[in-house]
Structure 1
Amino acid sequence: MTEIGAFERTSAAVWERPERAILAYRAVVAALVAGVAETLGRAAIALDASDVRVSGIVVGLLVRAAIYAAVFTLAARMLTGSRWARLILVIGLGTVGLASLVVEPIGAILSAHSFGDLLTGWTPNTVLLGLFRAAHVLAVLVFLPAALTTGRPSHR
């Protein structure tokens, strides 16, 4: 049998997709869904403000849409066995992506004078956005080991 990318050839016409590749792909899609939900929630909250600059929100949404489209495209390429797409996702999501998700909560924790400060000012909106952020981080943390796991696919 010959191996190409993340797949192993099991016959002349069939390529078996390793379970880790499927898990990594699903985790990226879950992260994207959580990211889109948080982005739309933040945009809706921003649009509700009295001093809103709609052009700024639109530009931000377009930039995020481009990033999310690129990540989805790379995830689809990874699922078809592309090692370079997997590497770009691991580096991008595992460094800049993950850091951008945790820097704000870590900053809030570090700037709090007491534990009680962390619990004040919560609204249904902030709780919902926090849940989206937590799901996003969790999905990235599932993606990374799945994408980094080496070895051959298991056969049944």
Structure 2
Amino acid sequence: MTGTAFSVQPRTDAPRSVSVAFTALVIALLCGVGEAITHTAGQLDRLDADIGSLATGLAIRAGIYLVVLGVAVRMARGARWARIALTFGIGVIGLASLIIEPLAATLSAKQISDLFDNLTASAVINGTFRTGHILAVLVAIPAMYHPTARRYFRRTNSLSHR
């Protein structure tokens, strides 16, 4: 589906920084999906699992991830509004939501060893996905503001207003 309205690749004239940003955003999304699936699978192992609430949570996340992917595609095609939306949505709100829980756990621990009590394989996998998600966002946001990306967004938007 290259070159169609459904293509999810950056434009061929997009600079490398925009391609890096787009790729990092896709990696962040995949890490988010992996974390959601791992978390849900872990919750399903519990006897008191609320399947309805887990399904609702997955549906909400899937919707958010699809919207973010759509905005990322628009960003890769040069839409400045998409770059701004990703900066605040993913770079501020999303990043904060990923960091708050582990930060709260770290700050509430009396000793560092408390953080490793009851550590499970599922927690390690979730932590790996979350770390990958955070790192991908920390690559994507600066890449969208690299000088070559700024020129690309300026040029693309000036061409669309003619």
TM range, smaller chain: 0.7 to 0.9
Percent identity of paired positions between Structure 1 and Structure 2:
41
Higher helix share: 2
Question: Which secondary structure state, in structure 2, belongs to the residue aligned with residue 17 of structure 1?
Answer: coil
Other-structure match for 1:25: 22
Matching residue within 96, 100, 106 for 2:97: 100
Superposition pairs for residues 42-121 of structure 1, below 5 Å? Answer: 42-121=39-118
Other-structure match for 1:139: 136
- Mapped to 2, the partners of 1:136 and 1:144 lie a distance apart of 12
Other-structure match for 1:16: 13
Other-structure match for 1:37: 34
Unaligned stretches of 5+ residues in structure 2: 1-10, 153-162
- Mapped to 1, the partners of 2:129 and 2:12 lie a distance apart of 35
TM-score (norm 2): 0.83
Other-structure match for 2:123: 126
- Mapped to 1, the partners of 2:131 and 2:119 lie a distance apart of 16
- RMSD of Structure 2 on Structure 1 (CA): 1.4
- The more displaced of 15-24 and 39-48 is 15-24
Equivalences, count:
140
Unaligned stretches of 5+ residues in structure 1: 1-13
Aligned structure 1 segments of 4 or more residues deviating by more than 6 angstroms: none
